[in-house]
Structure 1
Amino acid sequence: MKTPADIHEFSCRPFPEKIAHYHYDNDYKVLKGTKSGAIRWKSYYWVYLTTALKGKYVGIQEQGNGIWKVYYRNVFLGFFDQRNLKHKQQE
């Protein structure tokens, strides 16, 4: 019948106040996520990612034929096809 405070053990793992900047390789284009969680592609198009990435930098890598791979740091998020994007003036 111990309380949580009696059995809690503090972690020795460091917890940084600010996460270090991630450097993408030179073959990546680096884009910043907007407030809505999208990236702007060639000024006229939007690629929606997720609101969890708003203000974060993502790296995109060309695969050929208009297909791009999207990464957040070293995590692969998915693909997008630049030929099938939503124009910023479309709803």
Structure 2
Amino acid sequence: MHRDLKVECCKPSCQDLRAQNRSMNDFAYRYNHIRPHEQLGQLTPGSVYVPSDHEYRERVSRPEYDSTMDVYQVCSNGAIRWGSKEWISVSQALKGKEVAIRQTGERQRALYYRHFCLGSFELADRVEEGRYYRLISPRDSPQRFLDRHQRSRKSS
């Protein structure tokens, strides 16, 4: 599809944006309603398209966390401030979103976005200014941490 689009619309490109837009729209119409596609049994995409039954919501509702969790907002750097001098790296994809931290052991914490556990971390022995904690997913946790995490879950 991209190769065909490039051949028909981009090499050479049109003289102005309005003409380029018209060219792209013409290509999209031909591609979806006139040209048959082998993968669709020589039908056109426009003839087999069915609108989704799912209702589109303009806004996604705010996440709800239970009262045992502490809620934080992810900063523009993709991290949340932990205490006054430390940070927890989360993801820049979640900047501006609310995440929550649940205590899972004496020094262990798990970080959640909605009902998904993004990972866990273990508190340091002492506070260091500017320290960043890196989340550990269950896939790459050391076995000792997993064992400790399982014991703390069984006892609670």
TM-score, L = length of structure 2: 0.53
Structure 2 CA distance for aligned equivalents of residues 2 and 86 of structure 1: 64
- Please identify which structure carries the higher strand content: 1
Alpha-carbon distance, 1:28 to partner: 0.2
Alpha-carbon distance, 1:55 to partner: 0.8
Q: How many residues align?
A: 90
Structure 2 CA distance for aligned equivalents of residues 71 and 56 of structure 1: 11
Please tell me whether Structure 1 or Structure 2 has the larger radius of gyration of its CA atoms.
2
Structure 1 CA distance for aligned equivalents of residues 97 and 57 of structure 2: 17
* RMSD (Å) for aligned C-alpha atoms: 2.0
Unpaired stretches in structure 2, ≥5 consecutive residues? 1-41, 133-156
Unpaired stretches in structure 1, ≥5 consecutive residues? none
SS in 1 for 2:56: coil
Paired-residue identity, %: 31
Matched residue, 2:44: 3
Structure 2 CA distance for aligned equivalents of residues 54 and 86 of structure 1: 24
Matched residue, 1:80: 121
- Please identify which structure carries the higher helix content: 2
Decide whether the 8 Å contact of 2:73 with 2:99 is kept in 1.
yes
Matched residue, 1:16: 57
Matched residue, 2:105: 64
